[in-house]
Amino acid sequence: MKIGEHTLRNNVIAAPMAGVTDTPFRRLCRRLGAGLAVSEMVASAPRLRDTRKSRLRRCHDDEPSPRAVQIAGADPAQLAEAARFNVDQGAQIIDINMGCPAKKVCRVAAGSALLADEALVGRILDAVVAAVAVPVTLKIRTGPTPHTRNALRIARIAEQAGVAALAVHGRSRACAFHGRAEYDTIREVKHVVSIPVIANGDISTAQQAAQVLRHTGADAVMIGRAAQGNPWIFREIAHYLATGRLLAAPQPGEVLHTLLEHLDALHDFHGEFAGVRIARKHLGWYCRTRPGGEAFWRAINRIECAAQQRAMVSAFVLGEACAAPGLAA
């Protein structure tokens, strides 16, 4: 899988997710097998550039190459300047957000709201591609609504503008995350462009990833919500695509090591006060389907000390391991 001059180690990509794919999570996804992990979206408005949130979102400390930053906005000149600024800060791939269905993003005519204005899409892509020497990628949905799908036209506009790769989520803006993703539109997009196409939406197992690639002919899969609480999914998919064999689930010792590594990284990156609170959602995703998870979740939400959070996670994982058949002490 290549994006511009960058050759990825595989074709399994961590999707940009606001409030999730910060530096600690991206590093974890890469270590556990993702060929690329894209940053949270960074606003293109200059007045927001120096906020603490923006500074943290564009941080790439100790992150392996290539480093991809997603930018969001609706003004071609502002997006072009944001692309230049982020490249100066170390971005090696610029991704443009035209896929987010969140109301607060669409209210300012950004994200997936842009799909309704194909002329503006063209002006944005032309401006950003011309502004930087690094590859520019684009993330879209199938269209404004299920009845007004225009992903094929957007894909042709993107290719003509010089976009290096295109990620397509198999839902429209109106669908948000309701219903099931459909992959026929992604297959049609792949047939009309020669640039790499990345399939996204409802891919939660290695077998599903293989099925989606077969059905669409896409060059890669992008994993979003399925990685929340399960960062091991990247190596599972990559291994299955390479060998046709399923990997065993991670053992409790590795699970505990990974969770503690992630907690330490969050506490260090965000500071103890914010890091402990940000960690809660990751722990909630991890424990949501596990025995005793609800009680653990209620208890961990009351903890404000990093050391105590680590200790409770250790007790929960080790207790779960001891309770499992064949693992009792």
What is the set of active-site residues? 100
Q: How would you classify residue 244: left for phi > 0, otherwise alpha for psi between -120 and 50, otherwise beta?
A: left
Q: What DSSP assignment string belongs to 155-218? A: HHHHHHHT-SEEEEESS-TTTTT-S----HHHHHHHHH--S-EEEESS--SHHHHHHHHHHH--
Q: Taking every pair of C-alpha atoms in the chain, what is the biggest distance, in angstroms?
A: 65
Phi first, then psi: give them for residue 24, nearest 5 degrees: -60, -40
Among 87, 60, 52, 64, CA closest to 7: 64
Alpha helices in the chain, H assignment, sequence order: 23-31, 52-57, 76-88, 103-106, 118-131, 151-161, 184-192, 206-216, 233-243, 252-270, 272-287, 293-300, 306-323
